[in-house]
Amino acid sequence: MKEKYSGKGLFSPEAAKQKAEILSVELNSLFDIRFEKFNVEDHVDLNDIEIIF
């Protein structure tokens, strides 16, 4: 399958890098919107968190 589509640039390093950069920007903007008014240090006491393994 790789050989079939390699000529179209779907598996080229440049295309992969570009897609990763676009996805990274989209994810960062999503997290900015979700956590814009949420400050972890102000709302979470780390002593109250129990970690179970």
The CA distance from 22 to 26, in Å, is 6
The CA distance from 11 to 29, in Å, is 26
Unique residue bearing structure tokens 């589509």 = 5
CA distances from 48 to 22, 44, 51 (A): 37, 8, 10
The CA distance from 5 to 37, in Å, is 44
For the chain, give every domain's residue range: 19-52
Contact call for residues 5 and 11 (beta carbons, < 8 A)? yes
Residue ranges of the chain whose pLDDT lies below 50: 1
- pTM to 2 decimal places: 0.33
What is the pLDDT at residue 32? 60
What is the pLDDT at residue 1? 47
